[in-house]
Amino acid sequence: MPPAKLLNVQVPSPVAQTQTALSQAEAFVHSSKKLEDELASLGNSIQKHEDNIKQVKARVSSLDDQITDMQVTLGKTHSDTKDKDALSQQATCEHIIQHEKSAAASIVCKLKYNKTHDHPISSINDVLGVVATLGKVNDDNVNRILSEYLGLDTMLALVCMTYNGVEALETYDKEGFVSKSSGLHGLSASIGKPIDGRFNVICLENLRPYVGEFMPDDPQRRLALLKPNLPSGETPKGFVGFAVNMIHLDTAQLSSLTSDGHGLRETLFYNIFSKLQVYDTRAHMLQALPFLSHGAISLDGGLVRSNGVLVFGTGDEMKVRFVRKFSAPENLVDIEKQLKELKWTKETAVEEVHREEAMLTHVKYTFEVKKQEFVRFMTQTSPYVMQYPVQATPRR
């Protein structure tokens, strides 16, 4: 029987075993240190996002306060301007009512503008108003000279949308005499001011409207009239603009359209002013005399009729004028611009909060994943950690 072969088994020396254990422990320590550093970094990132959110929210709150204050200021300014406009409208109506030759216009003012009366009577339902009350002018000099140019009869004229409305104002008996018991005459008793004389009525649908272009992007729909030109091609000195474009129309007036879609500016005011030019002074107006095909006025009181007649002397002080248009303070545009910028800044800040919150949610999720990974790692390697304790601990 052959002799048995001995197996050559090499047993690691104690030194080798110790070195292997040390290497493994060092690897575990290195890995745990890396995880710990990652957790610490994520914790710092969480703190940074939370601080950013707190700061941006504080900025949003401050912007909200500024926006609210500015809106209050603008609201008060608009309210004050609106109140002044209403008082001016009332003052114009009072001047009309008090005028001895304004019986027809007085009735319309009382029934359409006086809040103490009920809804307008059917006979004046189609009456838009009196010429003097249908437009506003924001300059007293322009208002005075425009009113004088038109004259009292035109300023007190009633304006109807349709001819049916015109017919409802006055009826006649079999002999052709005016019926005093119907139409506008029948209403005259309501103010104790009978209509004895004549009065003018303008029917919009019977007027030939302006058919040219309008100024682009202009909410007032001003007419794009060609400026007067000298032979040199230059505009005469002192030319301010056209009278028809100096009338301001309220929203209700802008929406008053004929069946053909024409508004007050291109019907009523274009017909009573046509292309009346406005100049700064009489001297400027007279220098441009050869180019005044439709007359002109100057802010210092000069007046040239459309037929070439120059008007001299001093005109009568007309109480019946257009409604005075009160403009908001000059800095109102700046305030509105600042408000718009503040709102844009707030929107940007709110978007920044949303971004920070989204990043915070992602970092917190990553932190929890890494934390669980760290806990599992420490549990699995606890024997080595006991021999080589890790000093750092994760945040959160």
Q: Judge whether 12 lies within some domain.
A: no
User: 277 and 133 in one domain?
Assistant: yes
Cα(114)–Cα(296) distance, rounded to whole angstroms? 35
User: 293 and 180 in one domain?
Assistant: yes
User: 341 and 232 in one domain?
Assistant: no
Cα dist. 209→122, 129, 223, 268, 369 in Å? 27, 19, 11, 8, 77
What region, left, alpha or beta, does residue 379 occupy, with left being phi > 0 and alpha being psi -120 to 50 degrees? alpha
Domain boundary (263, 291, 318) is at 318
pTM: 0.60
Q: Judge whether 141 lies within some domain.
A: yes
User: 54 and 155 in one domain?
Assistant: no
User: 249 and 286 in one domain?
Assistant: yes
User: 310 and 386 in one domain?
Assistant: no
Q: Judge whether 22 lies within some domain.
A: no
User: 221 and 127 in one domain?
Assistant: yes
Cα(233)–Cα(240) distance, rounded to whole angstroms? 17
Q: Judge whether 328 lies within some domain.
A: no
User: 144 and 266 in one domain?
Assistant: yes
Tokens linked to 162: 């349709």
Q: Judge whether 6 lies within some domain.
A: no
- pLDDT of residue 119 exceeding 60: no
**CATH at residue 287:** 3.30.70.1620
Residues spanned by the domain of 192: 100-318
Cα(359)–Cα(49) distance, rounded to whole angstroms? 7
**pLDDT above 90 coverage of the chain, percent:** 13
Residue-wise pLDDT tens digits, 83-114: 455 555 667 777 777 776 777 888 887 777 66
User: 203 and 69 in one domain?
Assistant: no
Q: Judge whether 92 lies within some domain.
A: no
Q: Judge whether 361 lies within some domain.
A: yes
Domain boundary (270, 290, 318) is at 318
Total structural domains within the chain: 2
Of 91-100, 212-221, 379-388, the least confident: 379-388
- pLDDT of residue 335 exceeding 80: no
Q: Residue 122's pLDDT is what?
A: 61
**pLDDT above 70 coverage of the chain, percent:** 74
User: 256 and 383 in one domain?
Assistant: no
User: 338 and 252 in one domain?
Assistant: no
User: 337 and 313 in one domain?
Assistant: no
